[in-house]
Amino acid sequence: MLYFRTTSGVSNHNNGTLNNSIAFSSYPGEVAQMCNGNNADGGNATSGFYRHGDSVQDRLEYWTLSKFKVVAWHYGFKWSNIDLTYDNNLRIIGWDATTTIPRTDINTPESIGGQIMSQNGDQDDIYILGNYMHHSGLSSEEDEDNFGYKVQSIYISGFNGQYSNIHIGHNDFAHNSGNLQVYAHNSSDIIDDIYIYDNWFHDGGTTGMVLNGGDGLTEYSFITTAYVYNNIFSNNLSYAAKLTDGSTGSHGGTFYFYNNTCYNNSDAEIFSPNPAALYVVNNIFQTSALVYFSYSPGDDSGNFGSHNLFYGSVGAIPSWSTNNIIINPLFTSPSTNDFTLQSTSPAINAGTTLASVPNDFLGVSRPQGISYDIGAFEYVSAAEETCTDNIQNQDETGIDCGGVCEACVVPITYGLSNFISAITNWLGIGNETSDVNSDGVVNTRDLGVMMSGWSN
């Protein structure tokens, strides 16, 4: 294991700086494994990485932990800090992480485990990217009985926790008995700006993601603002996502739920009883559950939405969502987890522009057509898929029209007047209309385009 500890004013580690991080990483082509899932040694040795702050101020800054396989009994990576501990600019990237701690019940303290756990302290600019977090609390990777209680994939909690700018992106959360959970414990806990994007939450034993839960004696909001976009939530045994819940620390916060795909989750797709504001735009909700959204014991007075696609539930479409589509989204192959869109999908060009979501789940720029597509994926046409050299062939006939992909669109046919215009332009007496492929110059490529679309 790797153990970061500070005690009696002495730290056992150095720190990196901007553009000069300290990195621990598996050697290229190799896999370094931390732990073997065995609890025989007990204590902290059951964690792959352990961060322990003591009663003095300490900082862990500009560290990158990359490409490790962690099979931990209790935690893959645990922060267990106190008020005077400050961790900033940390990266956890490319892990293959699982935990073998048994899934039991709330009365067993060790049931609160997980691949990554953070509590206490002041942590800013944390990036958890590109990890495979799977089979938490299960006996093996072949164990498909994933129903359990609290063996979380990521658990970010309070106890005087102060966080800002947390990024959780490009991760695969698969077959976990718990979920990604952000949960506070008293009213001094706070997260300013958490970003959750381009993740796949699937085949879990409970809700895919829980944001802004919390306990304590008074009502408060752990999260101030959360941005959730381009995620896929599929085949989880409860909700796709809880955005607040009925607990005391779950009152308030602003949530932006944009361009997500929610498919076949067992309960309502979103449970959101107490947000200050929830904006739901450009999402696909396909479910056989009785309702799309659930609010009890709160209400939906803070919810706003538009351009969502609903399909499958007998429940009512929420009145606060406008410009909806109620029809089969026509995924390519949902039974094999392919949630891209068929060419005839009604979700294509049916969304609205969201400047905060310029790309889709795969990094494809939005929009590919006249408007944003609904859901996590932009539809890419066959012609665009074959355009690997940034030069698109006219109608895929082999005639190089010379335009970049976005500009090379020839929707009309051409005749003698276009030909004369091009010739006169080459002679220096023409006009710009002869640039028929819109690449900024008039040359033989324009002639090729005209000949491929000749009408007389």
Q: Check residue 436 and give its pLDDT.
A: 63
Nearest-angstrom CA–CA distance, 194 and 212: 11
Instruction: Identify which of 204-213, 367-376, 419-428 has the greatest average pLDDT.
Output: 367-376
Nearest-angstrom CA–CA distance, 393 and 409: 10
Considering only 44-48, 99-103, 229-233, 303-307, which range has the smallest mean pLDDT?
Answer: 44-48
**Token pair of 404 as six digits:** 């970049």
Q: Check residue 453 and give its pLDDT.
A: 52
208 and 237 in contact (C-beta within 8 Å)? no
**Token pair of 400 as six digits:** 């190089």
Nearest-angstrom CA–CA distance, 180 and 243: 12
Give the count of beta carbons closer than 10 Å to the beta carbon of residue 44. Answer: 15
Residue 7 has pLDDT above 50, yes or no: yes
Mean pLDDT, rounded, for 26-44: 62
Residue 206 has pLDDT above 60, yes or no: yes
Q: Check residue 245 and give its pLDDT.
A: 78
Q: Check residue 279 and give its pLDDT.
A: 97
What sections of 312-443 are H helices per DSSP?
A: 382-385, 416-426
The SS3 assignment for 359 reads: strand
- What is the side-by-side strand order in the sheet with 68-72? 32-34, 68-72, 96-99, 132-134, 172-174, 200-202, 232-234, 261-263, 284-286, 309-311, 325-326
Return the bridge partners of 305, or none.
280, 321
- For strand 331-333 and strand 338-341, is the pairing parallel, antiparallel, or unpaired? antiparallel
- The CATH number corresponding to 2-385 among 2.160.20, 2.102.10, 1.10.3470, 3.90.1310 equals 2.160.20
Nearest-angstrom CA–CA distance, 144 and 135: 8
Candidates 172, 232, 174; CA nearest to 203 is 174
Mean pLDDT, rounded, for 221-240: 93
Residue 242 has pLDDT above 80, yes or no: yes
Candidates 199, 201, 191, 33; CA nearest to 119 is 191
Residue scoring higher pLDDT (105 or 38)? 38
Mean pLDDT, rounded, for 25-32: 76
**Token pair of 105 as six digits:** 């019940």
Mean confidence (pLDDT) of the chain: 76
- As to burial, measured by CB atoms within 10 angstroms (0-12 exposed, 13-18 middle, 19+ buried), residue 419 is middle
Nearest-angstrom CA–CA distance, 406 and 438: 10
Q: Check residue 298 and give its pLDDT.
A: 77
13 and 49 in contact (C-beta within 8 Å)? no
103-157 confidence digits (pLDDT tens) = 554 433 333 445 555 656 678 898 999 988 888 765 555 555 444 445 677 888 7
Percent above pLDDT 90 for the chain: 31
Q: Check residue 391 and give its pLDDT.
A: 46
13 and 7 in contact (C-beta within 8 Å)? no
Query: With bands split at pLDDT 50, 70 and 90, how would you rate the model's confidence at 416?
Result: low
Mean pLDDT, rounded, for 317-333: 96
Domain boundaries, the chain: 2-385, 394-452
Considering only 81-95, 117-131, 414-428, which range has the smallest mean pLDDT?
Answer: 414-428
Q: Check residue 195 and give its pLDDT.
A: 97
Chain centroid, CA 308 distance in Å: 18
359-376 confidence digits (pLDDT tens) = 999 999 999 999 999 999
271 and 239 in contact (C-beta within 8 Å)? yes
pTM: 0.78
Cα angle, residue 12 at apex, residues 10 and 15 outer, rounded to 5°: 105
Query: With bands split at pLDDT 50, 70 and 90, how would you rate the model's confidence at 292?
Result: very high
Write down the residue that tokens 């949902």 correspond to.
334
